[in-house]
Structure 1
Amino acid sequence: MGFVAFNELLDDLDHGAGVQAAGIRRGYGGPPARTVCVSSGLARLRCASLLKPLYAWVSAARIPDAERWRRHAEPSVVISSNADTLNLWLAVGPGVILDDIRRRTGVAWSPPNGDPSRFGSVEVAADEVATAYAAFAQSAVAGDPAAATVLEWMRQVGPEQAFGVREAIGAPDAGIKSGWFGAPDETCLRTHVVAVLPRGGTRVTVIVGMTALPYTDAREREIYRERVAKGLSVEHTHEKLAGALLRELMTATLTELGG
């Protein structure tokens, strides 16, 4: 399939769409490291909730009360609780969390310029996300207890928030985290997914799919915003708009990495 599959997917995109996919396969004792990265449109996209497991991971060392950390970190990852994520994000501090991620993974991100409390507005590229999650996953399998706990929570993310990725890539035990949102100042909906596939030892495979697809119908956007304001689920809207494309992107990425 290779990059021909990517070309076919990108050629069919609507004008104004932003799409990225990236993957990393690496680890001692395995085949040579391999990376894949493709993109169309904007070079960086707002992360939505895609980075929540990384926030949870590094905040563990900054919150002395382990029970308090777990009380907020677990729902932040497993059910993508915004309230619990904010508790960690603001208690530790956006700059501290992102600096700790940089020190542990080598990937540098900045707090949003407009409002640093908006954890989902950090701008990222798919290859950066893959790199950071690979470092996180290798820390988990190497014995970092916080990373191992967070990775296990990622395996518990339910199907309603996994967008069918586990089934698409044939990895029922994959750790998954998705991000989905459409801000009032955007004419698109962002739908992102990262999947972590430990391979034994320190070998890991990480694949990332990110989309920002046009969503311009005024009435549909109004209904979407009303549901968000009421705390109602909008995953079905993101699935309808981006689900199939995300699954195809991630399947193509995994194939290009060598399975």
Structure 2
Amino acid sequence: MGFNELLDDLDHSATAQAAGIRRGYGGPPARAVSFTAGMTRLRCASVLKPLYAWVSAARIPDADRWRRHAEPAVVISSNSDTLSLWLAVGPRVILDDLRDRTGVAWGLPNGDPSRFGSVEVTASEVSAAYAVLAQSAVAGDPVAGTVLEWMGQVAEPQAFGAREALGWPESAVKCGWYGAPDETVLRTHAVAVQPRGGTRVNVIVAMTALPYTDPHERDVYRERVGKGLPVEAEHEKVSGTLLRGLMTTTQEELGS
């Protein structure tokens, strides 16, 4: 199934993006694919948390303190722990360090810079940044290696079935999901990283922002968020099938 067929029935107000990178010394030629329908940039919805954890380690002298916040930020997507890293190091410093390490430049969100999940990204940018993280890990960067190990511990339902869909049971995965009060969509994003030996890696990213306009559903969603209750099941209902379809289609386009 190609992207056009997958998205035939996509609502005109929806956005779907996908990207993949296959690269590494000693393997086949580097290959990258990408697809966008709808908006060109989306709020990151926490899919960047492992990248934030990676670069913040060098800025926090107390390694135990870094790990105390970075591990739950990645493994269970803890917002409070991510915020501790984001504000302790500084949003601009974190994003500048990511640019220096990965070549991918992201700006601070409009309005309140403390909202780490409001950074706007593209699927291609996300895949490029994670490819650098993965190759740094296999080249011996201990912090990158630890972050990838934590991504390997992300469990369902926070992985949205990405490993099973791709046939990568041991892959490192991170997803992001949110529906902001000022949006009439639910955003659900996923990245999967598969080391292939040596410095070779495959990275696949899917991002969606799908209509979520029913007033009652939105009220219930906001109430659950306000109480700190999980909302992954709602994102699975709205976006799960498309998210996995984008990932498997990207995998097919990328090749083995």
Q: Same fold by TM (over 0.5)?
A: yes
Q: Displacement, 1:15? A: 2.0
Q: Displacement, 1:184? A: 0.2
Q: Who is 1:245 aligned against? A: 242
Q: Who is 1:174 aligned against? A: 171
Question: Given residue 157 of structure 1, which amino acid in structure 2 is its aligned partner?
Answer: V
Question: Given residue 94 of structure 1, which amino acid in structure 2 is its aligned partner?
Answer: P
2:83 to 71, 83, 86: 86
**Any idea what the Cα deviations from partners look like across 1:90-143, whole Å, max 9, x if unmatched?**
000000000000000000001111110000000000000000000010001100
- What does 1:186-225 align with in structure 2 at a 5 Å threshold? 186-225=183-222
What's the secondary structure of 2:7's corresponding residue? helix
Within 1, Cα distance between the matches of 2:14 and 2:119? 19
Q: Displacement, 1:255? A: 1.2
Question: Given residue 82 of structure 1, which amino acid in structure 2 is its aligned partner?
Answer: N
Q: Displacement, 1:11? A: 1.8
What's the secondary structure of 2:174's corresponding residue? strand
**Any idea what the Cα deviations from partners look like across 1:210-257, whole Å, max 9, x if unmatched?**
000000001100000000000000000000000000111100101111
Task: State whether residues 12 and 38 of structure 2, in contact with CA within 8 Å, keep that contact through their aligned partners in structure 1.
Answer: no
Q: Are 1:69 and 2:66 an aligned pair?
A: yes
What's the secondary structure of 2:183's corresponding residue? coil
Structure 2: stretches of 5+ with no match in the other structure:
none
Within 2, Cα distance between the matches of 1:111 and 1:194? 21
Within 2, Cα distance between the matches of 1:113 and 1:215? 23
Q: Who is 1:145 aligned against? A: 142
What's the secondary structure of 2:224's corresponding residue? helix
Question: Given residue 228 of structure 2, which amino acid in structure 1 is its aligned partner?
Answer: G
What's the secondary structure of 1:191's corresponding residue? strand
Q: Displacement, 1:160? A: 1.1
1:36 to 33, 37, 48: 33
**Any idea what the Cα deviations from partners look like across 1:56-97, whole Å, max 9, x if unmatched?**
000000000000000000000000000000000000000000
- Matched residue pairs, number? 256
- What does 1:22-33 align with in structure 2 at a 5 Å threshold? 22-33=19-30
Identity in percent: 75
Over the aligned positions, Cα root-mean-square deviation in angstroms equals 0.6
Q: Are 1:235 and 2:232 an aligned pair?
A: yes
2:42 to 40, 45, 58: 45
